[in-house]
Amino acid sequence: METKPQKNKQLEKIQEMVEDIRMAMMTTVDDQGNLVSRPMAALQMDEDGTIWFFTKRTSPKVDQIDNNQHRVNLSFSDVGDANYVSISGTADELDDRAKIDELWNPQAKAWFPKGKDDPELILLKVHTQMAEYWDSSDSTMVRLFQQAAAAITGNPPKMGENEKVYN
């Protein structure tokens, strides 16, 4: 995912953590009130903390976003490094051909075989309102040792940094 320097310095840590994680799970609410998640390829995190995605105009998630005050959640995880990010925000659909041109990549053709001029292709932009992250700088072996020690001592392991960031 492409990232840009953040205007809000508090979002710099979030930017660093999601930069190499291309896939996010986007959660919306369906008509029955169920939480529905699906993988989405994040294209860019711009300087305002907005995360951009391609989607189909007729996708059910577009209706779910419109019907639920545009509220969404994005989750990013890098299990190997034990880094996790949850982003709450609002999403808007946008038919901006210049932005589509800017973000277009060859992998998108699998979902949009007519290319960047596909009439079904629109953008989703998710405005970050709050993000929470968990970041473990320890190696896998250290984390496993901490978990084993916690099981023996009954004291919760210290598994890294956790913080909430507001935009």
Which structural domain, as residue segments, surrounds residue 155?
2-166
Q: How far apart are CA 166 and CA 10, in angstroms?
A: 8
Of the pLDDT bands very low, low, confident and very high (cuts 50, 70, 90), residue 10 is confident
Distances (CA, A) of 74 to 70, 79, 125, 137, 140: 13, 16, 12, 22, 25
The per-residue pLDDT for 68 is 87
Residue 89 carries which side chain, given as an amino acid letter? G
- List pLDDT tens digits, range 38-93: 999 999 999 999 999 999 999 999 999 998 899 999 999 998 888 899 999 999 99
| pLDDT tens digits for range 120-156 | 999 999 999 999 998 875 544 444 455 555 567 666 6
The closest alpha carbon to 132, from 43, 17, 25, 7, belongs to: 17
CATH number of the structural domain spanning residue 142: 2.30.110.10
**Two structure tokens written together for 32:** 């029955």
Q: So what's the pLDDT on residue 61?
A: 96
Give the chain's domain count. Answer: 1
Query: For residue 160, what pLDDT is reported?
Result: 62
Q: Which residue stretches of the chain are H helix? A: 12-18, 60-67, 97-103, 140-153
Tokens for 63? 């209706």
Per-residue pLDDT for 157 more than 80? no
Average pLDDT score over residue span 105-117: 93
Average pLDDT, stretch 19-24? Answer: 90
Average pLDDT over residues 83-111: 95
What's the chain's average pLDDT?
A: 88
Distance CA 73, CA 144 (A): 29
